[in-house]
């Protein structure tokens, strides 16, 4: 299943800040894939759920996350 995010979501990835536009869900045995536009490089990259962090929200007192570490 592919889900278009409306509105898109601002995230932090191992490659920096990004906007997620789609989710790809292959089912219960696979991790969800986030299709993202990397702000700095303008690349379209795919990340699993464990690789992304949601952007902070000052209204709710949620601080901006650190950039997740890439797997070696």
For residue 72, what pLDDT is reported?
A: 44
For residue 54, what pLDDT is reported?
A: 83
Burial class (CB in 10 A: 0-12, 13-18, 19+), 51: buried
The candidate with the shortest Cα–Cα distance to 45, out of 54, 33, 53, 29, is: 33
The candidate with the shortest Cα–Cα distance to 49, out of 64, 26, 31, is: 31
Pull the structure tokens for residue 36: 């993202």
Pull the structure tokens for residue 23: 């989710």
Calculate mean pLDDT across residues 10-14.
Answer: 91
Q: For residue range 15-32, what is the model confidence (pLDDT) as tens digits? A: 999 999 999 999 888 899
Instruction: List Cβ neighbours of 16 (8 Å cut-off, separation of 6 or more).
Output: 38, 39, 40, 67
For residue 53, what pLDDT is reported?
A: 87
For residue 34, what pLDDT is reported?
A: 96
């Amino acid at each position: 299943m592919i889900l278009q995010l409306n509105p898109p979501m601002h995230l932090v990835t191992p490659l920096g800040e990004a906007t997620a536009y789609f989710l790809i869900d292959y089912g219960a045995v696979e991790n969800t894939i986030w299709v993202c536009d990397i702000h700095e490089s303008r690349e379209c990259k795919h990340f699993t759920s464990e690789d992304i962090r949601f952007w902070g929200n000052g209204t709710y007192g949620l601080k901006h996350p650190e950039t997740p570490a890439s797997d070696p």
